[in-house]
Protein backbone atom coordinates (compact mmCIF):
# COMPACT_ATOMS: atom_id res chain seq x y z
CA UNK A 1 0.00 0.00 0.00
CA UNK A 2 1.51 3.34 -1.08
CA UNK A 3 2.00 6.08 1.47
CA UNK A 4 0.06 9.31 1.16
CA UNK A 5 1.81 11.79 -1.17
CA UNK A 6 3.57 14.68 0.58
CA UNK A 7 1.88 18.08 0.73
CA UNK A 8 2.20 20.08 -2.47
CA UNK A 9 3.37 23.09 -0.42
CA UNK A 10 4.37 23.55 3.23
CA UNK A 11 5.47 26.77 4.89
CA UNK A 12 7.07 26.48 8.32
CA UNK A 13 7.47 29.54 10.60
CA UNK A 14 7.88 32.07 7.79
CA UNK A 15 8.61 35.66 8.88
CA UNK A 16 9.12 38.76 6.75
CA UNK A 17 9.91 42.20 8.18
CA UNK A 18 9.91 45.59 6.53
CA UNK A 19 10.92 48.91 8.15
CA UNK A 20 8.17 49.73 10.63
CA UNK A 21 6.04 46.64 9.94
CA UNK A 22 6.16 42.85 10.25
CA UNK A 23 4.30 41.67 7.14
CA UNK A 24 4.39 37.97 8.07
CA UNK A 25 5.05 36.62 11.57
CA UNK A 26 5.73 32.91 12.16
CA UNK A 27 3.35 31.77 9.39
CA UNK A 28 2.83 28.05 8.76
CA UNK A 29 0.61 26.77 5.95
CA UNK A 30 -0.02 23.43 4.22
CA UNK A 31 -1.60 22.88 0.79
CA UNK A 32 -2.37 19.33 -0.36
CA UNK A 33 -2.17 18.02 -3.94
CA UNK A 34 -5.38 18.76 -5.82
CA UNK A 35 -6.66 21.08 -3.09
CA UNK A 36 -8.17 24.53 -3.51
CA UNK A 37 -6.91 26.40 -0.44
CA UNK A 38 -8.09 29.94 0.39
CA UNK A 39 -6.09 32.57 2.22
CA UNK A 40 -8.45 35.02 3.86
CA UNK A 41 -7.68 38.27 5.65
CA UNK A 42 -8.44 41.97 5.65
CA UNK A 43 -6.34 44.44 3.65
CA UNK A 44 -2.80 44.60 4.99
CA UNK A 45 -3.06 41.20 6.74
CA UNK A 46 0.06 39.98 4.90
CA UNK A 47 -1.56 37.72 2.29
CA UNK A 48 0.09 39.20 -0.81
CA UNK A 49 3.54 39.25 0.84
CA UNK A 50 3.16 35.57 1.69
CA UNK A 51 2.20 34.73 -1.89
CA UNK A 52 5.21 36.67 -3.21
CA UNK A 53 7.47 34.63 -0.91
CA UNK A 54 6.05 31.41 -2.34
CA UNK A 55 6.50 32.77 -5.89
CA UNK A 56 10.09 33.86 -5.26
CA UNK A 57 9.64 37.61 -5.72
CA UNK A 58 10.18 38.30 -1.99
CA UNK A 59 12.78 36.57 0.21
CA UNK A 60 11.67 35.60 3.74
CA UNK A 61 13.80 36.62 6.74
CA UNK A 62 13.08 33.35 8.57
CA UNK A 63 11.34 30.04 7.99
CA UNK A 64 11.34 27.17 5.51
CA UNK A 65 9.46 26.35 2.31
CA UNK A 66 8.82 22.77 1.17
CA UNK A 67 7.47 21.85 -2.28
CA UNK A 68 6.33 18.26 -2.90
CA UNK A 69 8.05 17.32 0.35
CA UNK A 70 11.45 18.77 -0.60
CA UNK A 71 12.99 21.86 1.06
CA UNK A 72 13.38 24.64 -1.53
CA UNK A 73 14.79 28.15 -1.61
CA UNK A 74 12.83 29.96 -4.29
CA UNK A 75 15.10 32.82 -5.33
CA UNK A 76 13.04 34.25 -8.19
CA UNK A 77 9.83 33.70 -10.18
CA UNK A 78 11.70 31.89 -12.97
CA UNK A 79 12.78 29.25 -10.46
CA UNK A 80 9.22 29.08 -9.09
CA UNK A 81 7.84 28.44 -12.57
CA UNK A 82 10.43 25.68 -13.17
CA UNK A 83 9.26 24.01 -9.96
CA UNK A 84 5.67 24.22 -11.18
CA UNK A 85 4.41 27.32 -9.34
CA UNK A 86 2.54 30.03 -11.28
CA UNK A 87 0.88 33.19 -10.00
CA UNK A 88 -1.83 35.57 -11.20
CA UNK A 89 -1.17 38.91 -9.51
CA UNK A 90 -3.78 41.38 -8.35
CA UNK A 91 -1.69 44.18 -9.87
CA UNK A 92 -0.81 42.99 -13.34
CA UNK A 93 2.80 42.50 -14.41
CA UNK A 94 2.37 43.29 -18.09
CA UNK A 95 4.32 45.53 -20.50
CA UNK A 96 1.89 48.03 -22.02
CA UNK A 97 3.76 48.47 -25.31
CA UNK A 98 3.96 44.73 -26.12
CA UNK A 99 1.24 42.50 -27.53
CA UNK A 100 -0.58 39.85 -25.50
CA UNK A 101 1.50 37.12 -27.15
CA UNK A 102 4.80 38.93 -26.49
CA UNK A 103 3.91 39.41 -22.81
CA UNK A 104 3.05 35.73 -22.42
CA UNK A 105 6.18 34.65 -24.31
CA UNK A 106 8.38 36.60 -21.87
CA UNK A 107 7.15 34.43 -19.02
CA UNK A 108 7.80 31.10 -20.77
CA UNK A 109 10.98 29.27 -21.67
CA UNK A 110 12.10 30.08 -25.19
CA UNK A 111 11.64 26.57 -26.58
CA UNK A 112 8.62 27.87 -28.52
CA UNK A 113 8.54 30.54 -31.19
CA UNK A 114 6.33 33.59 -30.78
CA UNK A 115 4.00 32.19 -33.46
CA UNK A 116 3.65 28.93 -31.52
CA UNK A 117 2.90 30.85 -28.33
CA UNK A 118 0.24 32.87 -30.16
CA UNK A 119 -1.34 29.63 -31.31
CA UNK A 120 -1.30 28.16 -27.79
CA UNK A 121 -2.86 31.34 -26.36
CA UNK A 122 -5.71 31.13 -28.88
CA UNK A 123 -6.24 27.43 -28.05
CA UNK A 124 -6.22 28.01 -24.25
CA UNK A 125 -8.49 31.02 -24.59
CA UNK A 126 -10.93 28.96 -26.64
CA UNK A 127 -10.68 25.95 -24.31
CA UNK A 128 -11.57 27.99 -21.24
CA UNK A 129 -13.89 30.57 -22.78
CA UNK A 130 -11.49 33.47 -22.13
CA UNK A 131 -11.82 35.54 -25.32
CA UNK A 132 -8.43 36.99 -26.26
CA UNK A 133 -6.66 38.20 -29.42
CA UNK A 134 -2.93 37.34 -29.04
CA UNK A 135 -1.93 40.24 -31.34
CA UNK A 136 -3.56 43.05 -29.36
CA UNK A 137 -1.20 45.51 -27.63
CA UNK A 138 -1.73 45.38 -23.87
CA UNK A 139 -2.25 49.15 -23.57
CA UNK A 140 -5.47 48.76 -25.55
CA UNK A 141 -6.97 46.24 -23.09
CA UNK A 142 -9.42 46.96 -20.32
CA UNK A 143 -8.57 45.86 -16.78
CA UNK A 144 -10.82 42.81 -17.16
CA UNK A 145 -9.07 41.81 -20.38
CA UNK A 146 -5.64 42.21 -18.74
CA UNK A 147 -6.84 39.81 -16.03
CA UNK A 148 -7.60 37.24 -18.74
CA UNK A 149 -4.04 37.60 -20.12
CA UNK A 150 -2.57 36.91 -16.68
CA UNK A 151 -4.75 33.83 -16.21
CA UNK A 152 -3.95 32.43 -19.67
CA UNK A 153 -0.22 33.07 -19.13
CA UNK A 154 -0.34 31.11 -15.86
CA UNK A 155 -2.31 28.22 -17.41
CA UNK A 156 0.19 27.86 -20.28
CA UNK A 157 2.89 26.78 -17.78
CA UNK A 158 0.78 23.73 -16.74
CA UNK A 159 1.33 24.55 -13.04
CA UNK A 160 1.27 22.11 -10.11
CA UNK A 161 0.43 25.05 -7.81
CA UNK A 162 -1.48 28.07 -9.10
CA UNK A 163 -1.66 31.18 -6.92
CA UNK A 164 -4.56 33.53 -7.67
CA UNK A 165 -4.66 36.95 -5.99
CA UNK A 166 -8.17 38.48 -6.31
CA UNK A 167 -8.69 36.88 -9.76
CA UNK A 168 -12.39 37.74 -10.08
CA UNK A 169 -12.32 41.35 -8.92
CA UNK A 170 -12.83 42.65 -12.48
CA UNK A 171 -14.83 39.79 -13.98
CA UNK A 172 -18.58 39.62 -14.63
CA UNK A 173 -20.69 36.88 -13.01
CA UNK A 174 -20.72 34.96 -16.30
CA UNK A 175 -16.92 35.23 -16.60
CA UNK A 176 -16.53 34.13 -12.96
CA UNK A 177 -18.61 31.03 -13.68
CA UNK A 178 -16.32 30.23 -16.63
CA UNK A 179 -13.20 30.77 -14.51
CA UNK A 180 -14.54 28.54 -11.74
CA UNK A 181 -15.22 25.79 -14.28
CA UNK A 182 -11.54 26.11 -15.29
CA UNK A 183 -10.36 26.02 -11.67
CA UNK A 184 -12.52 23.02 -10.75
CA UNK A 185 -11.10 21.24 -13.79
CA UNK A 186 -7.51 22.05 -12.74
CA UNK A 187 -8.14 20.77 -9.20
CA UNK A 188 -9.67 17.55 -10.61
CA UNK A 189 -6.47 17.10 -12.63
CA UNK A 190 -4.36 17.33 -9.45
CA UNK A 191 -3.31 20.99 -9.59
CA UNK A 192 -3.33 22.78 -6.22
CA UNK A 193 -4.73 26.29 -5.85
CA UNK A 194 -3.88 29.05 -3.42
CA UNK A 195 -6.79 31.44 -3.71
CA UNK A 196 -6.94 34.95 -2.26
CA UNK A 197 -10.31 36.65 -2.40
CA UNK A 198 -12.48 38.93 -0.30
CA UNK A 199 -15.61 37.40 -1.83
CA UNK A 200 -16.64 34.93 0.83
CA UNK A 201 -19.24 33.15 -1.32
CA UNK A 202 -16.50 32.40 -3.88
CA UNK A 203 -14.22 30.88 -1.25
CA UNK A 204 -17.07 28.70 -0.01
CA UNK A 205 -17.93 27.60 -3.56
CA UNK A 206 -14.36 26.77 -4.62
CA UNK A 207 -12.18 25.88 -1.63
CA UNK A 208 -12.06 22.94 0.77
CA UNK A 209 -9.58 24.57 3.16
CA UNK A 210 -9.00 28.13 4.36
CA UNK A 211 -6.19 29.77 6.32
CA UNK A 212 -7.23 33.01 8.02
CA UNK A 213 -4.68 35.79 8.62
CA UNK A 214 -4.83 38.92 10.72
CA UNK A 215 -1.97 41.43 11.18
CA UNK A 216 0.56 39.10 9.54
CA UNK A 217 -0.25 36.04 11.65
CA UNK A 218 -2.33 32.92 11.09
CA UNK A 219 -5.39 33.14 13.34
CA UNK A 220 -7.22 30.01 12.21
CA UNK A 221 -7.70 27.22 9.69
CA UNK A 222 -11.15 25.99 8.65
CA UNK A 223 -13.21 24.29 5.97
CA UNK A 224 -15.07 27.24 4.42
CA UNK A 225 -17.84 24.94 3.17
CA UNK A 226 -18.83 24.45 6.81
CA UNK A 227 -18.83 28.19 7.56
CA UNK A 228 -21.29 30.95 6.76
CA UNK A 229 -20.34 34.31 5.28
CA UNK A 230 -20.98 35.79 8.73
CA UNK A 231 -18.70 33.34 10.55
CA UNK A 232 -15.92 33.82 7.97
CA UNK A 233 -16.25 37.61 8.43
CA UNK A 234 -15.88 37.19 12.18
CA UNK A 235 -12.76 35.03 11.70
CA UNK A 236 -11.24 37.62 9.36
CA UNK A 237 -12.08 41.00 10.92
CA UNK A 238 -13.39 40.02 14.37
CA UNK A 239 -16.93 41.12 13.56
CA UNK A 240 -19.57 41.13 10.85
CA UNK A 241 -19.67 44.17 8.55
CA UNK A 242 -22.72 46.31 9.24
CA UNK A 243 -25.62 45.60 6.92
CA UNK A 244 -26.47 48.51 4.64
CA UNK A 245 -30.08 49.59 4.70
CA UNK A 246 -30.35 52.14 1.88
CA UNK A 247 -33.48 54.22 2.26
CA UNK A 248 -35.14 55.15 -1.05
CA UNK A 249 -35.26 58.91 -1.38
CA UNK A 250 -36.59 61.45 -3.81
CA UNK A 251 -33.86 62.49 -6.25
CA UNK A 252 -33.31 66.22 -6.78
CA UNK A 253 -32.22 68.31 -9.75
CA UNK A 254 -30.33 66.88 -12.72
CA UNK A 255 -26.60 67.35 -12.08
CA UNK A 256 -25.15 65.32 -14.97
CA UNK A 257 -26.94 65.26 -18.33
CA UNK A 258 -25.53 63.25 -21.23
CA UNK A 259 -27.45 63.59 -24.51
CA UNK A 260 -26.83 61.88 -27.85
CA UNK A 261 -23.17 61.30 -27.00
CA UNK A 262 -21.51 59.53 -29.92
CA UNK A 263 -17.74 59.48 -30.03
CA UNK A 264 -15.29 57.59 -32.19
CA UNK A 265 -12.53 55.99 -30.14
CA UNK A 266 -8.94 57.02 -30.88
CA UNK A 267 -7.80 53.57 -29.78
CA UNK A 268 -7.72 51.00 -32.63
CA UNK A 269 -8.94 48.39 -30.15
CA UNK A 270 -11.32 50.70 -28.30
CA UNK A 271 -15.10 50.94 -28.51
CA UNK A 272 -17.05 53.74 -30.20
CA UNK A 273 -19.71 55.41 -28.05
CA UNK A 274 -23.08 55.35 -29.76
CA UNK A 275 -25.97 57.64 -28.78
CA UNK A 276 -25.39 57.61 -24.99
CA UNK A 277 -28.28 59.08 -22.98
CA UNK A 278 -27.73 59.38 -19.23
CA UNK A 279 -29.00 61.46 -16.32
CA UNK A 280 -27.72 61.56 -12.73
CA UNK A 281 -29.65 63.66 -10.21
CA UNK A 282 -28.59 65.04 -6.87
CA UNK A 283 -29.31 62.61 -4.07
CA UNK A 284 -29.19 59.43 -6.15
CA UNK A 285 -26.70 56.68 -7.03
CA UNK A 286 -26.86 55.51 -10.64
CA UNK A 287 -25.13 52.19 -11.27
CA UNK A 288 -23.50 51.23 -14.58
CA UNK A 289 -23.04 47.47 -15.14
CA UNK A 290 -21.43 45.66 -18.06
CA UNK A 291 -18.65 43.37 -19.18
CA UNK A 292 -15.26 45.11 -19.12
CA UNK A 293 -14.27 46.54 -22.52
CA UNK A 294 -17.71 47.59 -23.77
CA UNK A 295 -17.09 51.33 -23.81
CA UNK A 296 -16.98 52.07 -20.07
CA UNK A 297 -13.44 53.38 -20.33
CA UNK A 298 -14.28 55.66 -23.27
CA UNK A 299 -17.37 56.98 -21.47
CA UNK A 300 -15.46 57.66 -18.27
CA UNK A 301 -12.74 59.53 -20.16
CA UNK A 302 -15.39 61.72 -21.79
CA UNK A 303 -17.15 62.36 -18.45
CA UNK A 304 -13.97 63.03 -16.43
CA UNK A 305 -12.49 65.47 -18.98
CA UNK A 306 -9.57 63.30 -20.08
CA UNK A 307 -11.19 63.20 -23.55
CA UNK A 308 -12.58 66.60 -24.63
CA UNK A 309 -13.58 65.71 -28.21
CA UNK A 310 -17.30 65.19 -27.51
CA UNK A 311 -19.81 67.69 -28.98
CA UNK A 312 -19.99 70.66 -26.60
CA UNK A 313 -23.64 70.24 -25.62
CA UNK A 314 -23.53 66.43 -25.27
CA UNK A 315 -22.33 66.61 -21.64
CA UNK A 316 -23.75 69.12 -19.16
CA UNK A 317 -23.21 69.71 -15.47
CA UNK A 318 -25.98 71.70 -13.80
CA UNK A 319 -27.14 72.63 -17.33
CA UNK A 320 -23.68 74.05 -18.21
CA UNK A 321 -21.97 72.51 -21.28
CA UNK A 322 -18.70 70.92 -20.12
CA UNK A 323 -17.68 68.52 -22.90
CA UNK A 324 -14.74 70.72 -23.96
CA UNK A 325 -13.51 71.37 -20.41
CA UNK A 326 -10.54 69.47 -18.98
CA UNK A 327 -10.47 67.65 -15.62
CA UNK A 328 -9.30 70.68 -13.60
CA UNK A 329 -12.17 72.86 -14.86
CA UNK A 330 -14.69 70.12 -14.12
CA UNK A 331 -13.31 69.72 -10.60
CA UNK A 332 -13.96 73.42 -10.00
CA UNK A 333 -17.58 72.73 -10.90
CA UNK A 334 -17.65 69.94 -8.30
CA UNK A 335 -16.92 66.78 -10.33
CA UNK A 336 -14.57 64.30 -8.63
CA UNK A 337 -13.50 61.06 -10.24
CA UNK A 338 -12.06 57.72 -9.02
CA UNK A 339 -10.50 55.74 -11.92
CA UNK A 340 -10.31 51.94 -11.94
CA UNK A 341 -6.51 51.93 -12.33
CA UNK A 342 -5.15 52.70 -8.85
CA UNK A 343 -1.43 52.85 -9.51
CA UNK A 344 -0.40 55.23 -12.29
CA UNK A 345 -3.80 56.84 -12.83
CA UNK A 346 -5.38 57.18 -9.39
CA UNK A 347 -2.03 57.67 -7.64
CA UNK A 348 1.65 58.20 -8.49
CA UNK A 349 3.41 55.13 -7.00
CA UNK A 350 6.61 56.89 -5.89
CA UNK A 351 4.89 59.91 -4.32
CA UNK A 352 3.72 60.05 -0.70
CA UNK A 353 0.05 59.85 0.19
CA UNK A 354 0.15 63.52 1.16
CA UNK A 355 1.65 64.55 -2.18
CA UNK A 356 -0.87 62.35 -4.01
CA UNK A 357 -3.60 64.54 -2.53
CA UNK A 358 -2.37 67.37 -4.74
CA UNK A 359 -3.40 65.46 -7.85
CA UNK A 360 -7.05 66.40 -7.27
CA UNK A 361 -7.17 68.57 -4.12
CA UNK A 362 -5.74 72.09 -3.82
CA UNK A 363 -6.98 73.23 -0.39
CA UNK A 364 -3.38 73.06 0.89
CA UNK A 365 -2.07 75.37 -1.85
CA UNK A 366 -2.04 79.07 -0.99
CA UNK A 367 -3.36 81.75 -3.35
CA UNK A 368 0.28 82.56 -4.15
CA UNK A 369 0.85 78.94 -5.24
CA UNK A 370 2.81 77.74 -2.18
CA UNK A 371 2.17 74.25 -0.84
CA UNK A 372 1.32 74.42 2.87
CA UNK A 373 3.10 71.29 4.07
CA UNK A 374 1.57 70.97 7.53
CA UNK A 375 -1.94 71.49 6.26
CA UNK A 376 -1.35 68.91 3.51
CA UNK A 377 0.01 66.35 5.99
CA UNK A 378 -2.94 66.91 8.34
CA UNK A 379 -5.40 66.56 5.48
CA UNK A 380 -3.84 63.26 4.36
CA UNK A 381 -3.72 61.99 7.95
CA UNK A 382 -7.41 62.82 8.33
CA UNK A 383 -8.27 60.62 5.32
CA UNK A 384 -6.04 57.81 6.64
CA UNK A 385 -7.87 57.86 9.99
CA UNK A 386 -11.40 58.32 8.64
CA UNK A 387 -11.09 55.52 6.09
CA UNK A 388 -8.94 53.26 8.32
CA UNK A 389 -6.09 53.12 5.81
CA UNK A 390 -3.20 50.93 7.00
CA UNK A 391 -0.12 52.97 6.10
CA UNK A 392 3.03 54.23 7.79
CA UNK A 393 1.61 57.76 7.93
CA UNK A 394 0.94 60.52 5.40
CA UNK A 395 4.56 60.31 4.20
CA UNK A 396 4.26 56.68 3.06
CA UNK A 397 4.74 56.13 -0.67
CA UNK A 398 1.57 55.08 -2.50
CA UNK A 399 3.21 51.90 -3.77
CA UNK A 400 4.00 50.77 -0.19
CA UNK A 401 0.29 50.22 0.52
CA UNK A 402 -1.63 47.03 -0.18
CA UNK A 403 -4.04 47.35 -3.10
CA UNK A 404 -7.09 47.58 -0.87
CA UNK A 405 -5.59 50.22 1.39
CA UNK A 406 -4.55 52.37 -1.56
CA UNK A 407 -8.09 52.06 -2.90
CA UNK A 408 -9.48 53.26 0.45
CA UNK A 409 -7.17 56.28 0.35
CA UNK A 410 -8.05 57.25 -3.24
CA UNK A 411 -11.80 56.86 -2.65
CA UNK A 412 -11.42 58.78 0.62
CA UNK A 413 -9.53 61.58 -1.14
CA UNK A 414 -12.41 62.16 -3.56
CA UNK A 415 -15.32 61.57 -1.15
CA UNK A 416 -13.90 63.91 1.48
CA UNK A 417 -13.76 66.69 -1.15
CA UNK A 418 -17.57 66.83 -0.75
CA UNK A 419 -18.19 66.77 -4.51
CA UNK A 420 -21.33 67.89 -6.30
CA UNK A 421 -20.91 64.92 -8.67
CA UNK A 422 -18.85 61.81 -7.91
CA UNK A 423 -17.99 59.35 -10.66
CA UNK A 424 -16.32 56.22 -9.31
CA UNK A 425 -15.13 53.15 -11.20
CA UNK A 426 -14.84 49.81 -9.37
CA UNK A 427 -15.08 51.39 -5.89
CA UNK A 428 -14.34 48.24 -3.89
CA UNK A 429 -12.02 46.34 -6.24
CA UNK A 430 -9.71 44.21 -4.07
CA UNK A 431 -10.81 45.55 -0.68
CA UNK A 432 -11.89 43.32 2.21
CA UNK A 433 -15.50 42.94 3.32
CA UNK A 434 -15.20 45.44 6.15
CA UNK A 435 -13.60 48.11 3.96
CA UNK A 436 -16.07 47.44 1.13
CA UNK A 437 -18.98 47.98 3.52
CA UNK A 438 -17.38 51.22 4.73
CA UNK A 439 -16.80 52.57 1.19
CA UNK A 440 -20.37 51.73 0.18
CA UNK A 441 -21.72 53.36 3.35
CA UNK A 442 -19.68 56.51 2.60
CA UNK A 443 -21.08 56.60 -0.96
CA UNK A 444 -24.62 56.35 0.40
CA UNK A 445 -23.90 59.06 2.99
CA UNK A 446 -22.63 61.28 0.17
CA UNK A 447 -25.82 60.58 -1.77
CA UNK A 448 -27.93 61.39 1.30
CA UNK A 449 -26.08 64.71 1.59
CA UNK A 450 -27.30 65.58 -1.94
CA UNK A 451 -24.38 64.46 -4.10
CA UNK A 452 -25.07 62.91 -7.51
CA UNK A 453 -23.14 59.61 -7.78
CA UNK A 454 -22.37 57.48 -10.84
CA UNK A 455 -20.85 54.09 -9.96
CA UNK A 456 -19.32 51.89 -12.66
CA UNK A 457 -18.86 48.40 -11.25
CA UNK A 458 -18.54 44.85 -12.49
CA UNK A 459 -19.83 43.54 -9.17
CA UNK A 460 -23.57 43.21 -9.57
CA UNK A 461 -24.09 42.56 -5.86
CA UNK A 462 -22.48 45.92 -5.17
CA UNK A 463 -24.74 47.74 -7.62
CA UNK A 464 -27.84 45.98 -6.26
CA UNK A 465 -26.78 47.13 -2.79
CA UNK A 466 -26.16 50.84 -3.41
CA UNK A 467 -27.69 51.94 -6.73
CA UNK A 468 -31.10 53.58 -6.98
CA UNK A 469 -31.20 52.99 -10.75
CA UNK A 470 -29.18 50.76 -13.07
CA UNK A 471 -27.97 51.00 -16.67
CA UNK A 472 -26.02 48.35 -18.60
CA UNK A 473 -23.31 49.12 -21.15
CA UNK A 474 -22.79 46.84 -24.14
CA UNK A 475 -20.81 47.47 -27.36
CA UNK A 476 -20.63 51.22 -26.77
CA UNK A 477 -24.37 51.59 -26.19
CA UNK A 478 -26.25 52.29 -22.96
CA UNK A 479 -29.44 50.52 -21.94
CA UNK A 480 -32.45 52.37 -20.56
CA UNK A 481 -32.37 52.76 -16.79
CA UNK A 482 -34.05 50.22 -14.52
CA UNK A 483 -35.06 50.81 -10.88
CA UNK A 484 -33.03 48.66 -8.50
CA UNK A 485 -36.23 47.07 -7.21
CA UNK A 486 -36.91 45.59 -10.68
CA UNK A 487 -33.34 44.44 -11.41
CA UNK A 488 -32.08 40.87 -11.09
CA UNK A 489 -28.97 38.96 -12.16
CA UNK A 490 -30.69 37.19 -15.06
CA UNK A 491 -32.04 40.38 -16.65
CA UNK A 492 -28.83 42.36 -16.18
CA UNK A 493 -26.81 39.39 -17.49
CA UNK A 494 -28.95 39.31 -20.65
CA UNK A 495 -28.63 43.07 -21.07
CA UNK A 496 -24.83 42.71 -20.93
CA UNK A 497 -25.15 41.07 -24.36
CA UNK A 498 -27.10 44.11 -25.60
CA UNK A 499 -30.49 42.40 -25.45
CA UNK A 500 -32.51 45.11 -23.76
CA UNK A 501 -34.74 45.93 -26.76
CA UNK A 502 -36.25 42.43 -26.63
CA UNK A 503 -36.91 42.86 -22.90
CA UNK A 504 -38.65 46.18 -23.42
CA UNK A 505 -40.72 44.78 -26.28
CA UNK A 506 -41.82 41.91 -24.02
CA UNK A 507 -42.75 44.34 -21.24
Label each residue of 336-385 as H, E or C.
Answer: EEECCCCECCCECCCCEHHHHHCCCCCCCECCCCCECHHHHHHHHHHHHH
Confidence of residue 507 (pLDDT cuts 50, 70, 90): very low
Same domain as 282, residue 150: no
In a domain, 224, yes or no: yes
What number of CA atoms fall less than 13 Å from residue 421's CA on the CB side?
Answer: 24
Contact 290, 474 (CB under 8 A): yes
Whole domain around residue 182: which residue ranges?
Answer: 9-237
In a domain, 487, yes or no: yes
Same domain as 282, residue 149: no
Q: Which of the listed residues 208, 237, 266 is the one where a domain comes to its end?
A: 237
What's the pLDDT tens digit per position in 315-363? 999 999 999 999 999 999 999 999 988 877 899 999 999 999 999 998 8
Task: Please report the pLDDT score of residue 173 as a whole number.
Answer: 65
Task: Please report the pLDDT score of residue 92 as a whole number.
Answer: 75
In the chain, the number of structural domains is 2
Same domain as 262, residue 232: no
In a domain, 374, yes or no: no
What number of CA atoms fall less than 13 Å from residue 65's CA on the CB side?
Answer: 21
Same domain as 133, residue 14: yes
Same domain as 328, residue 470: yes
Confidence of residue 494 (pLDDT cuts 50, 70, 90): confident
Same domain as 409, residue 452: yes
Contact 450, 437 (CB under 8 A): no
Query: 3-7, 68-72, 110-114, 177-181: which has the highest mean pLDDT?
Result: 68-72
Question: Is 125 a residue whose pLDDT tops 90?
Answer: no
Same domain as 427, residue 299: yes
The predicted model gives 146-154 an average pLDDT of 85
The predicted model gives 397-416 an average pLDDT of 90
Confidence of residue 289 (pLDDT cuts 50, 70, 90): very high
Q: Where is 78: in which H helix or E strand? A: helix 77-83
The predicted model gives 122-132 an average pLDDT of 81
Same domain as 76, residue 109: yes
Q: Pick from 85, 80, 206, 88: which is nearest to 146 by CA? A: 88
The predicted model gives 224-252 an average pLDDT of 76
Question: Is 384 a residue whose pLDDT tops 90?
Answer: yes
Same domain as 176, residue 313: no
Contact 50, 14 (CB under 8 A): yes
In a domain, 1, yes or no: no
Average pLDDT, the chain: 89
Least confident of 4-13, 48-57, 268-277, 486-495: 486-495
Q: Considering only residues 143 and 375, tell me which one the structure prediction assigns the higher pLDDT.
A: 375
In a domain, 483, yes or no: yes
Question: Is 286 a residue whose pLDDT tops 60?
Answer: yes
In a domain, 117, yes or no: yes
The two beta strands, 209-214 and 36-40, are parallel
Least confident of 136-145, 257-266, 387-396: 136-145
Question: Is 32 a residue whose pLDDT tops 90?
Answer: yes
Q: Largest Cα–Cα distance of the chain, in whole Å?
A: 83
In a domain, 481, yes or no: yes
Same domain as 224, residue 266: no
The predicted model gives 485-505 an average pLDDT of 79
CA-to-CA separations, 366 to 118, 373, 402, 416, 418, in angstroms, rounded: 55, 11, 32, 19, 20
Share of the chain above pLDDT 90, in %: 59
Q: Which of the listed residues 203, 237, 271 is the one where a domain comes to its end?
A: 237
Q: Considering only residues 4 and 8, tell me which one the structure prediction assigns the higher pLDDT.
A: 8
Same domain as 77, residue 203: yes
The predicted model gives 252-265 an average pLDDT of 96
Least confident of 135-144, 187-196, 391-400, 412-421: 135-144
Where residue 229 sits, what CATH number does that domain have? 3.40.50.300
Report the C-alpha dihedral over residues 340, 344, 347, 353, rounded to 10 degrees: 140
Sign of CA pseudo-dihedral 309, 312, 316, 318: positive
What's the pLDDT tens digit per position in 444-479? 999 999 999 999 998 888 899 999 999 999 999 999
Share of the chain above pLDDT 70, in %: 94
In a domain, 353, yes or no: no
Confidence of residue 500 (pLDDT cuts 50, 70, 90): confident
Q: Which of the listed residues 212, 237, 262 is the one where a domain comes to its end?
A: 237
Task: Please report the pLDDT score of residue 243 as a whole number.
Answer: 64
Q: Considering only residues 99 and 269, tell me which one the structure prediction assigns the higher pLDDT.
A: 99
Question: Is 170 a residue whose pLDDT tops 70?
Answer: no
Question: Is 1 a residue whose pLDDT tops 70?
Answer: no
Least confident of 64-68, 199-203, 498-502: 498-502
Task: Please report the pLDDT score of residue 89 as a whole number.
Answer: 79
Same domain as 418, residue 272: yes
Amino acid sequence: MSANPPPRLSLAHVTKRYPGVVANSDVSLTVLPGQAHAVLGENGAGKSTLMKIIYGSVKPDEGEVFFNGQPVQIRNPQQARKLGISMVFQHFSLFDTLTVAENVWLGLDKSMTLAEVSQRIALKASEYGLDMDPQRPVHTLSVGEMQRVEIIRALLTDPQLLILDEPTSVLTPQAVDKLFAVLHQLVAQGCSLLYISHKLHEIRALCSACTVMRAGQVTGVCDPREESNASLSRLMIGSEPPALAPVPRQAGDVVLQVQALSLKTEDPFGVNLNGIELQVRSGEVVGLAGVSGNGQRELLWALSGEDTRAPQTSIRMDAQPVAHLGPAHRRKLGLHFVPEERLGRGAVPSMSLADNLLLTRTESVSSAGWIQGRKLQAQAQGIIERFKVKAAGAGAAARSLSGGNLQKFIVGREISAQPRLLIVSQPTWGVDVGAAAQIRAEILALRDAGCAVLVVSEELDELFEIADRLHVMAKGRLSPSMPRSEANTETIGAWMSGLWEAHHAAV
